Amino acid sequence: MKTLENWCLLSCDECSVTLLVESRHTLSIEALDSARFRVRLRKDGQWRLGRSWTVAPEGPLPREGRARDARDGFTCPAADVTQADDRITIATDRLRAIIRTPLQICWQAMMDGQWRDVAQDRPTGAYMLGRRDHRNAHFLNRHRNECVFGLGEKAGLLERSGRRYEMRNLDAMGYDAQTTDPLYKHIPFTLTRTPDAGSFSLFYDTLAGCWFDLGNELDNYHAPYRSFRAEDGDLDYYFTWAPDMLALVKAQQQLTGGMAFPPRWSLGYSGSTMAYTDAPDAQVQMLGFLDALHTHDIPCDSFHLSSGYTSIDGKRYVFNWNTDKFPDIAGFTRAYADAGIHIIANIKPCLLQDHPRYDDVAGQGLFIRDSDTGAPELSMFWDAKGSHLDFTNPDTLDWWQGNVTTALLDQGLDSTWNDNNEFEVWDHHAQCHGFGEPIDMGLIRPLHALLMSQASETAQKAHAPDKRPYLITRAGCAGLQRHAQTWTGDNRTSWDSLRWNIRMGLGMALSGISNIGHDVGGFAGPQPDGELLLRWVQNGIFHPRFVIHSWNDDGSVTEPWTHPDMLPLIRDAFALRYRLLPYMYTCLWQAVSRGEPMLRPTFLDHEDDPECLADTDDFMLGRDLLVANVVEAGVKNRRVYLPRNATGWWDFHAGTWHPGGQWLDLAVTLDSIPLFVRAGAVLPLARHGARSDEAASVAAVFPARDQGVYVSEGYDDGGDNADALSGNHCVTRFELSCDGAELALAVTLSGQRAFAPETLLLALPETAPFPVRIGGKAVSHGQSFSIRD
């Protein structure tokens, strides 16, 4: 690659400037919003790939993508452009870019009435381009006290400084959650907290393989720096500034298309294991699961149906039902429907060479094509070779959607599990249809997983247009959250996985993808012992995706009842999950409608508390619940830090209040699930906690001791109605006022849907200091009050 240094002004318009670089390339800097700019470098003035599938500020995109030059969805404010001898400045009222020679950009933000330095390109070489190829690189100065987060699903510490990461989707089964890299997803996004100038994010709109070095690399000829390098594609990035990191997280979700709103039942427990569908009597095993749920008194809303249902002699053949294993498909799906359990069917995007329909699909030209021969590419896939479907071909999308419908939806299964979609096709120049404009595979590998999920979603919506679909994907790129839920892949059973998966999930949440979870109990490796399974369940209940899923080395199955001595405590954890489900559903709605991440590092809501920036096992569920699970073996004590805030924290279980900004040493036993509530919050809870469709029937009030007014919400709808976001829902607004001597709770309803219960039960901590008045009437703990008064 060659370093780019020389430039001159080529043109400008109301919100952008374009430079001519090295007399042949163009570099444009655009003000898209008052605090978001875009920088796009075009080799020889041309795009390598002129479309984007990740940037979608107005919501989901057509399958053909979006023109890179499009400005739809941005305000594009008029920018002030000034030019001096060696620099150009383009500025809005909140952010400005100063372009200097040699080519570099200094970013400044308006804070407290003055411009402050936020970020600086490396002055000794900031931009590089390949001379004979399309490699590209971007370098920035690295500051000692900055904290870097993001990059989606990555192993190790949540704070990323000092390490190197690669974006290259891999099927990393049994990974080490502390060290393995790369993993399943491609999220080239970082957010950086500066010591005194707010925070900024960088999103590189590329689908090519790329690397982030955040201080691992040192070079004597340069001051400390960080870098982004891509093996192909275009250097096209978005620079966003905000005074706090939460605003950047919300902005990234909005930039990449928002978030899908799955049905309420997706928050219930989902069973799964490969052992059932791999067994020769798979249907018997699956029906036995229903009996076991009843026997062991375990609530369940769905089942992830592993790919064994498609097998022939141990190999997987997508959309092929093994009728020896499932002799009565209709009877099987009817039994699950009668039990109120949704089936989520595993599907894979690669056809093995001996797939019964391989020749037909090849004849239709639906596979990615080998770069040398033009024949269907062949790659390793599940112990044999196969060809990957080309999801940039409209005919492939139609074929896929038709098979999702006929092989699954028409058979009584209503959801899809889009799995093994890393698309490990290592022929970089393998040809994809590109919707009529052929594209090299190496430019768009993770796009196929996104389009696969979008195609499955399209089929599900067409099949049940009045219902909100649920689907899940393992791999993908930025924007996957607008179609599907995801999880951290095939983790390994260990205490380390339990701890480090928490950070992996928070990394995704910080990157705009918070509807996530982990395989509870571990997928690969040994079966978890009783204590590990219990602690993993106690952690899993606080994640949007709550699934026990296993492929244990010894062929055993991990289920809630695997260790009978732990079953009563596991039941207690399940009951807590279902009690909290109205609150979690509210968090889901807030994530979809406002971009509020469901899972949050403690610093996201307490950025002014330096203690919260330290590494921790703790996290927030929504803005009101602080989760401090026990994630180490055999411990008798759990040390918890309560973030500094104005109201303090209530122990959810003990009903005791504690001021924020302090450490607590908790004695813990196997039944301990440490959980704290922000004082001033009102939580909508289910009274019994036995079903996912149980509406909120409890208003749990956690008073603040100081004077003030505190607002909380509860959300409800039909559970899966497609018009929920159009107004067919009910929002309950709780306004809690405290004058230091008495609490007043005002409850108001909005939306087109009636609130289900006539009354709510008031719940207060036992040590709550004040009486509560609702509508002028005193109401005590355990009393019901009318929601309509």
Q: What is the pLDDT of residues 35-94, one digit of tens each?
A: 999 999 999 999 999 999 999 999 999 999 999 999 999 999 999 999 988 899 999 999
- Walk across the sheet containing 517-520 and list its strands: 485-486, 471-473, 415-418, 342-347, 302-305, 270-272, 545-548, 517-520
**pLDDT confidence bin for 739, thresholds 50/70/90:** confident
* Element containing residue 494 per DSSP (H, E): none
**pLDDT confidence bin for 771, thresholds 50/70/90:** confident
**pLDDT confidence bin for 462, thresholds 50/70/90:** very high
Interval 186-198 mean pLDDT: 97
- The class (CATH top level) of 264-594 is alpha beta
Which CA distances in Å does 785 have to 747, 760, 788?
Answer: 11, 6, 9
Phi then psi for residue 388, to 5 deg, are -90, 135
- Percentage of the chain beyond pLDDT 90 is 94
- Percentage of the chain beyond pLDDT 70 is 100
Interval 488-493 mean pLDDT: 97
The span from the CA of 369 to the CA of 433, in Å, is 9
The span from the CA of 677 to the CA of 591, in Å, is 19
> Counting beta carbons within 10 angstroms of the beta carbon of residue 361, is it exposed (0 to 12), middle (13 to 18) or buried (19 or more)?
middle
Statement: residue 631 has pLDDT above 80: yes
The span from the CA of 78 to the CA of 93, in Å, is 10
- Reading the block at residue 593, the tokens are 């409608």
Average pLDDT over the chain, rounded to whole? 96
- Reading the block at residue 160, the tokens are 């990323």
25 touches 6 (CB < 8 A): no
The span from the CA of 433 to the CA of 441, in Å, is 10
CATH superfamily of 679-789: Golgi alpha-mannosidase II (2.60.40.1180)
- Walk across the sheet containing 225-230 and list its strands: 2-3, 127-129, 136-141, 225-230, 210-213, 164-167
Secondary-structure breakdown of the chain: helix, strand, coil percentages, each rounded to the nearest 5: 20, 30, 45
Which CA distances in Å does 5 have to 8, 123, 473?
Answer: 10, 10, 42
The span from the CA of 679 to the CA of 708, in Å, is 11
What pLDDT is stored for residue 586 in this prediction? 98
- Walk across the sheet containing 698-701 and list its strands: 682-685, 698-701, 759-763, 784-786
Q: Give Cβ neighbours of residue 532 (< 8 Å, ≥ 6 apart).
A: 493, 495, 498, 521, 633
Statement: residue 755 has pLDDT above 90: no
The span from the CA of 512 to the CA of 486, in Å, is 12
Domains of the chain, residue spans? 2-151+187-255, 264-594, 679-789
Statement: residue 226 has pLDDT above 80: yes
290 touches 321 (CB < 8 A): no
Interval 467-476 mean pLDDT: 98
What pLDDT is stored for residue 436 in this prediction? 97
Angle between helices 495-510 and 530-540 (to 10 degrees): 10
Phi then psi for residue 574, to 5 deg, are -60, -45
Which CA distances in Å does 616 have to 161, 291, 536, 600, 632?
Answer: 16, 40, 17, 12, 13
- Reading the block at residue 128, the tokens are 């590089």
Q: What SS3 state is found at 620?
A: strand
Q: How many helices (H) and strands (E) does the chain have?
A: 10, 55
What pLDDT is stored for residue 695 in this prediction? 86
Q: What's the angle, vertex CA 506, arms to CA 503 and CA 512, rounded to 5?
A: 150
- Reading the block at residue 520, the tokens are 């509870």
What residues are paired with 386 via a beta bridge?
352, 379
The span from the CA of 513 to the CA of 470, in Å, is 16
Which CA distances in Å does 61 have to 277, 451, 722?
Answer: 35, 10, 19
597 touches 604 (CB < 8 A): yes
Greatest CA span in the chain, whole angstroms?
81
What pLDDT is stored for residue 123 in this prediction? 97
Q: What is the pLDDT of residues 377-429, one digit of tens each?
A: 999 998 899 999 999 999 999 999 999 999 999 999 999 999 999 999 999 99
> Counting beta carbons within 10 angstroms of the beta carbon of residue 329, is it exposed (0 to 12), middle (13 to 18) or buried (19 or more)?
middle
What pLDDT is stored for residue 789 in this prediction? 58
Amino acid type, 543: H
Q: What is the pLDDT of residues 309-350, one digit of tens each?
A: 999 998 999 999 999 999 999 999 999 999 999 999 999 999
612 touches 603 (CB < 8 A): yes
The span from the CA of 498 to the CA of 492, in Å, is 9
**pLDDT confidence bin for 110, thresholds 50/70/90:** very high
Statement: residue 640 has pLDDT above 80: yes
Q: What is the pLDDT of residues 167-190, one digit of tens each?
A: 999 999 999 999 999 999 999 999
The span from the CA of 277 to the CA of 280, in Å, is 8
What pLDDT is stored for residue 350 in this prediction? 98
What pLDDT is stored for residue 193 in this prediction? 98
Interval 580-607 mean pLDDT: 98
Statement: residue 707 has pLDDT above 90: no
CATH (residue range 2-151+187-255): 2.60.40.1760
Domains 2-151+187-255 and 679-789 share a fold: yes
**pLDDT confidence bin for 754, thresholds 50/70/90:** confident
Interval 229-251 mean pLDDT: 98
Instruction: Work out the end-to-end distance of the chain between its first and last CA atoms, rounded to an integer number of angstroms.
Output: 71
Interval 707-723 mean pLDDT: 96
